[in-house]
């Protein structure tokens, strides 16, 4: 994947509008609600795509995040996401760290990389568990919000800087 900071830029893979990523209406889902009201515009290797806002997008099943840990999850789309009304997103889990270590600055949270060069990052979320565990694709985000913290991010590309607190 060539991004705009590469020497051989011929295209680029970036998200061109805010995704408005949020918890979906149904359990264990996400939704996109772009603030522009028109959906998400994104580019994969120089080719433009458009994804209309959707609710109840199924979350990728991933490994458990234990209690008292923080982790970043990257949300991506590809060209086939357009026709898929249920599984239009792919989620990649980052390296989890003890929340106390992240807050103290001992260990930062690094963004994971997309699972394939054909995946465009559109957003992500950070989960800080406190009294609960989280399993992407199984645990409802409302349960995490009740006990811990969920923070959503709209992305242009994978951030180069980690989250340090």
Q: Tell me what the mean pLDDT of segment 9-36 comes to.
A: 91
Q: How confident is the model over 10-21, as pLDDT tens digits? A: 678 999 999 999
With a cut of 60, say whether residue 8 has pLDDT above it.
no
How does the average pLDDT of the chain come out, rounded? 90
In the chain, domain spans? 14-154
Q: How confident is the model over 75-107, as pLDDT tens digits? A: 999 988 877 767 789 999 999 999 999 999 999
pTM score: 0.91
Helix (H, G, I), strand (E, B) or coil at 87: coil
- Which residues, other chains included, contact 61 with Cβ-Cβ below 8 Å and sequence gap of 6+? 135, 136, 137, 138
How many of the other CB atoms lie within 10 Å of CB of 85? Answer: 13
Backbone phi, psi, residue 154, to 5°: -100, 135
CA distance 104 to 47: 42
As given in the structure block, the two tokens for residue 68 are 């008292």
């Amino acid at each position: 994947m060539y991004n705009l900071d590469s020497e051989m830029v011929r295209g680029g893979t970036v998200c061109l509008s805010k995704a408005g990523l949020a918890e979906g209406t149904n359990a264990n889902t996400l939704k996109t609600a772009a603030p522009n009201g028109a959906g998400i515009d994104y580019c994969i290797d120089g080719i433009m795509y458009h994804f209309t806002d959707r609710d109840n997008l199924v979350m990728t099943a991933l490994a458990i995040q234990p209690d008292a840990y923080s982790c970043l999850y990257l949300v991506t789309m590809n060209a086939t996401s357009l026709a898929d009304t249920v599984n239009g997103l792919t989620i990649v889990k980052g390296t989890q760290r003890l929340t106390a270590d992240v807050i103290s600055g001992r260990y930062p949270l690094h963004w994971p990389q997309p699972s394939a060069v054909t995946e465009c990052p559109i957003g992500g979320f950070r989960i800080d568990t406190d009294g609960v565990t989280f399993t992407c694709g199984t645990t409802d985000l409302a349960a995490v919000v009740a006990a811990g913290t969920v923070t959503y991010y709209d992305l242009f590309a994978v951030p180069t800087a980690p989250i340090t607190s």
